Amino acid sequence: MFTKLDRKVASYRANKDNKHPVFVANNGLQNIVDEIEAIIIDVLPHGAGIDCDWHIEKSTGLNFTCNNAYHVLDGNGFYCGYVNFQVLFNANTKEFELSLNRENIEEIYREYTTEEPTDEFSEDPCPYLDDLDDDIYDRIQCSIEDYVLRETLAYIKENRPYLLTDFCS
């Protein structure tokens, strides 16, 4: 186990089956879940369109429902609205499912396609909406992979530095 998330998940799994309220209170199972949520929020991408705060709506075991909004650009590079999206994140496997709010996309399209074309607007008023789900998915995947790599290298550097010197030679 290299990452902080892996260590917290292992701690959660070791404590989750004990139903005795005193044990749970003393060992802080809810604290472990709160720490996992904080790590997930830190792991998920921020900036460049995903410039809102992440909110974890609920958690069931090691599955977390994370919400955010994507700040959409029009064809000229100006912000034109937000598209809400939800990520179902499994902390145990670091796998996730993404779902976009299609109503937000339709609203933005309606607003920008009802205008008559002018020199001011490009032909496709919101080209970034076409592949938005792929873009967000890729950003989340890259953030998770980057987190795992950074944490793994930090663990190796701290616990087995000789591996890095052999690797870097």
Structural domain boundaries enclosing 124: 4-168
- Note the pLDDT tens digit of each residue in 3-21: 888 888 888 887 777 666 6
Is 79 within 8 Å of 73 (Cβ atoms)? yes
Question: Is the sign of the CA dihedral 1, 151, 17, 93 positive or negative?
Answer: negative
Count how many domains the chain has: 1
In this predicted structure, the answer to whether residue 37 has a pLDDT above a threshold of 80 is yes
Residue with tokens 């069931």: 60
Give the pLDDT of residue 156: 81
Helix (H, G, I), strand (E, B) or coil at 80: strand
Question: Per mean pLDDT, which range of 38-47, 74-83, 158-167 is the poorest?
Answer: 158-167
**136 falls in which pLDDT band (50, 70, 90)?**
very high
In this predicted structure, the answer to whether residue 120 has a pLDDT above a threshold of 60 is no
Which amino acid makes up residue 55? H
Helix axes 132-159, 4-15, angle to 10 degrees: 90
What secondary structure letter does DSSP report for 50? Answer: B
Query: Average of pLDDT values for 110-118?
Result: 60
Q: What is the mean pLDDT of the chain?
A: 80
Give the pLDDT of residue 68: 95
